[in-house]
Amino acid sequence: MSQFEFTHRRKNPLTGNWVLVSPHRNNRPWLGATEKNAPSNLPEYDNTCPLCPGNHRANDSINPAYDKTFVFTNDFGALTSQVTEHSATLNHDNPLFEIEQATGECRVICFSPKHNKTLPELSVAEINDVVNTWKLNYIELSAQYACVHIFENKGEVMGCSQPHPHGQVWAHNHLSTEIQLEEDNQRNYQQHHGGNLLGDYVKHEIADGERVVYQNDHWLVVVPFWAAWPFETLLVCKDDVRHFGELTDVQSTALAQAIKILTTRYDNVFNCSFPYSMGWHSAPSKLDDNSHWRLHGHFYPPLLRSATVKKHMVGYEMLAESQRDLSPETAAKILQNASDIHYSQGNNNE
Ligand code: H2U
Ligand code: ZN
């Protein structure tokens, strides 16, 4: 029996948020939805898809006949670089009505010309093209903006609007709430404990091993001690890399390998294309000292018990704090035991 089989709370040191863990509820009767998993039989090219090579997008521009990755400015970007003439009149004085202008840029990154290939179905070399595209966009945008968010929404359940494999980049001048929290907590940790928060965390997790899902020379994949989502994982660079622009070719290739294995195992847990939101957290670009930062990625998948039964962050979670039944250690064990051969290639998971 695990040492964690009692009700307890764990603290996320990156955000300061707590999660309530209730392992004894794992065996309760389940009355949730059990819809059938929709079979995926997408074509390699879809003439109605705005992301496929050669097709028209919403703003009437035409995608080139790209053969690796393809980046374009989001036709419906949440941020633009335009400064409004109203900014001078914004009210900065009243603490009950704080407001500030937000400027930035939003891009879409197509991972592959193939409409029906998700990350785990791409080769390591093709995933490496995606990693390098992330890096180039990071370098270009971080020269101009303080905060660059690179992320992917995968699956309809996560609000992904197109099945074509793609992610997004949002860059802006302000620090987002999550980056500000991670900035404050990593800085505080270094001030009080001397070390780098995630650097120290990596050492503890490697020594313990229970929550390690995968590791290579440069990357560690763990179900973090403080995971809120059932199969949440954290990818941390083992080296002193503070932002995406600093990755060497060797570290990039090692990251592509880690992504290939992690996303393949995710798909194999329930034999489905595992939905998630994932993204990279880098040091903000305009810091005098960023030595407290460590480049890392978060995967937040919503599935709980099957291809269709997902965790809802509702009720207590919305009004109090995250709560989970499946312990992070059990989730890690499931991910450790999942096959590295994708179920579509025929593995032993079925
Ligand atoms: P999501 O699937 O994560 O929503 O990302 C797809 C993005 O692609 C979405 O933000 C953009 C949408 O605005 N898009 C275009 O910019 N042009 C199009 O023709 C279709 C979709
Ligand atoms: Zn497509």
Q: What is the mean pLDDT of residues 110-130?
A: 98
Ligand 2 centroid distance, CA of 267 (Å): 21
Catalytic residue selected from 149, 166, 172, 342: 166
As a whole number of angstroms, the distance between CA 224 and CA 210 comes to 10
CA–centroid distance, 273 to ligand 2, in Å, is 17
Question: Looking up tokens 């847990």, which residue turns up?
Answer: 269
Q: How would you label 122-140 residue by residue, b for 16+ Cβ within 10 Å and e otherwise?
A: bebebbbbbbbbbbebbeb
Please indicate whether residue 229 or residue 32 has the higher confidence score (pLDDT). 229
Secondary structure of residue 8 in the 3-state scheme: strand
Rounded CA gap, 208 and 222, in Å?
11
pLDDT at 27: 64
Instruction: Tell which atom from ligand 1 comes closest to the C-alpha of 58.
Output: 19
Q: pLDDT tens digits, residue range 166-175?
A: 999 999 999 9
**What is the predicted pLDDT for the residue at 222?**
98
Question: How do residues 1-36 score in pLDDT, each as one tens digit?
Answer: 578 889 999 999 999 999 999 988 776 655 444 445
Question: Residues lining ligand 1, CB < 6 A?
Answer: 50, 57-58, 74-76, 108, 153, 160-162, 168
pTM of the model: 0.95
Atom number of ligand 1 nearest to Cα 75 = 16
Taking the CA of 46 as reference, the closest ligand is 2
- With contact defined as beta carbons under 8 Å apart, do 152 and 110 qualify? no
Residue type, 251: Q
Is the per-residue pLDDT at 293 higher than 90? yes
Q: Note residues around ion ligand 2 (Cβ under 5 angstroms).
A: 46, 49, 51-52, 115, 164
Q: How far is the CA of 58 from the centre of ligand 1 (A)?
A: 9
- Residue 33 vs residues 159, 256, 270, 331: alpha-carbon distances, Å: 19, 35, 15, 21
* Catalytic residue flag (residue 342): no
Tell me the DSSP string of 139-203: HHHHTT-SEEEEEEEESGGGT---SS-EEEEEEESSPPHHHHHHHHHHHHHHHHHSS-HHHHHHH
Q: Which ligand is nearest to the CA of 48?
A: 2
For the CA of 49, the nearest ligand: 2
Determine the residue of 47, 76, 106, 119 to mutate for testing ligand 1's pocket, defined as the one with the most ligand atoms within 8 A of the Cβ atom. 76
Cα–Cα nearest to 265, from 312, 225, 306, 214: 214
The residue contributing the CA closest to ligand 1 atom 11 is 74
